[in-house]
Amino acid sequence: MKIAYCIAGTYNSGGMERVLANKANYLSGRGHEVVIITTEQRGQSPFFKLDERIRCHDLGINYETNNGKSLLNKVIRYPLKQWKHKRRLTTTLKQIKPDITVSMFCNDASFLWKIKDGSRKVLEIHFSRYKRMQYGRRGLWKIVDRWRSRRDGNTVKKYDRFVVLTHEDKSYWGDWPDIAVIPNALTFPVARPALLDNKRVIAVGRYSYQKGFDYLIDAWAIVHYFQPEWKLDIIGGGEWEERLQRQIDENKLNHCVRLKPSTGHIEKEYEQASILVMSSRYEGLPMVLLEAQSFGLPIVSFACKCGPKDIITDGENGFLVPEGSLPTLADRILRLMEEEELRKRMGMRAFARSKAFSEERIMRHWNDLFYELVSGNA
């Protein structure tokens, strides 16, 4: 088959970019022709390595140049960029002639289904149904987020298939036949779990409102009081970096909390950690939880929408914490620090459960879906 993926860009170190790289490499390695179409690449290299047989094509729309601008600025400029995007994407798809075109729910989601290029259209989402309402914005932006959330509910029904990451999220979209649940797959095979002997906790993700590292730093002030020898590394990057560093400074945690840049070898960070914490306000199906579990790390996570409840059974392979409860978050981290036997027992259960998300198992679902659409049996 010839498969085209549409995404904003591949230069970020985020989970969606990692998932796409994994899927594209897998499909290319099994003889499928894969093309990745971007709008924001601006000559930058993909953060995650792509198979040399994968073709990449950037449309040069550059929506992100309007980020941080006023609502009026976006109202004026967005329709023109959408018009240019649709025109250029239509031309590109008619040249490529894919069998399947997949939108990663970026700026093409509202119109990709309208393009008559002969390909079957698939929409996949890496956040929850209510992600726009979880942005925490106020005023006119809140009204816009509500309107866009309602529009999302209509958009997804235009596609030949809509794919969500969790059964929890599927329940929020409603009961209709063309929705499928396919979780993310593990990034890399792990032969043996981490030893869990280092006094080191890690958190991984973009420095942003979504990831809630501000919660984690405040909780760590409690943790540090009782366990001063343990260290916390927050691995990522993003617009909140200065804000988070100020918070670390104000809490006098510089000696035990570090902001570390994103890495293309995240497996080394998991190998050297003993606990992973996720303090997100919202998610889809976090790659960081899947990856940490595959290295046998016990996890402490807020029970946010969506993903943690599909991966963690509270008290078995980690702890689920009520959203925003910093005392409980600190308490569960401290339990794993202080009870080595519990930490290692949870770690072994996490390692065993990770097999359910193996690449072969997950990609079999994607293969079946694509062949069903192309054969006309959908």
In a domain, 194, yes or no: no
> Around Cβ 227, how many Cβ atoms within 10 Å?
17
Residue 319 located in a structural domain:
yes
Q: Please indicate, yes or no, whether residues 244 and 180 belong to a single structural domain of this protein.
A: no
* Number of domains the chain contains: 2
Residue 101 lies in a domain: yes
What pLDDT score was predicted for residue 118?
Answer: 97
Q: Give the integer Cα–Cα distance in Å for 337 and 71.
A: 46
What tokens were used for 160?
């030949």
Residues 178 and 141 in one domain: yes
What is residue 72's predicted lDDT score, i.e. its pLDDT?
Answer: 77
Q: What is the pTM of this model?
A: 0.84
10 and 141 part of one domain: yes
Supply the pLDDT for residue 133.
65
> What are phi and psi for residue 359, nearest 5 degrees?
-60, -45
163 in the same domain as 209? no
Considering the domain architecture, whether residues 114 and 150 belong to the same structural domain is answered as yes
List, as one string, the DSSP characters of 252-280: T-TTTEEEEE--S-HHHHHHT-SEEEE--
175 and 207 co-located in one domain: no
Q: Are residues 316 and 364 in the same domain?
A: no
Is residue 316 a part of any domain in this protein?
Answer: yes
**Which token pair is 154?**
């209509």
CA distance 349 to 201: 18
Residue 30 located in a structural domain: yes
pLDDT for residue 37? 98
Do 131 and 244 lie in one domain? The reply is no
Segments forming the whole domain that contains residue 325: 200-356
- Residue 141 pLDDT: 75
Residue 58 lies in a domain: yes
pLDDT of residue 15: 82
Q: Is residue 237 part of a domain?
A: yes
User: What's the pLDDT at 137?
Assistant: 75
Q: Answer yes or no: do 368 and 223 share one domain.
A: no
Same domain, 167 and 42: yes
Residue labelled with tokens 């989601």: 109
- Residue 192: inside a domain: no
Question: Over the Cα atoms of the chain, what is R_g?
Answer: 21
Nearest-angstrom CA–CA distance, 182 and 185: 9
* pLDDT of amino acid 134: 66
Q: How many CB atoms lie within 10 A of CB 203?
A: 26
pLDDT at residue 138, rounded to an integer? 78
Do 14 and 45 belong together in one domain?
Answer: yes
* 122 and 269 fall within a common domain: no
Give pLDDT, residue 140.
83
In the sheet that holds 161-164, the strands lie side by side as 55-58, 33-38, 2-6, 100-103, 120-124, 161-164, 179-181
Query: What pLDDT is attached to residue 67?
Result: 73
CATH number of the domain where residue 155 is located = 3.40.50.2000
pLDDT at 147: 82
Tens digit of each residue's pLDDT, the chain (378 residues): 999 999 999 999 888 998 999 999 999 999 999 999 999 999 999 999 999 999 999 999 999 887 766 767 777 888 999 999 999 999 999 999 999 999 999 999 999 999 999 999 999 998 888 777 666 777 887 888 788 888 899 999 999 999 999 998 999 998 888 999 999 998 778 888 999 999 999 999 999 999 999 999 999 999 999 999 999 999 999 999 999 999 999 999 999 999 999 998 899 999 999 999 999 998 988 889 999 999 999 999 999 988 899 999 999 999 999 999 999 999 999 999 999 999 999 999 999 999 999 999 999 999 999 999 999 865
At residue 213, φ and ψ (nearest 5 deg) are -65, -20
Q: How far is CA 182 from the centre of its chain?
A: 14
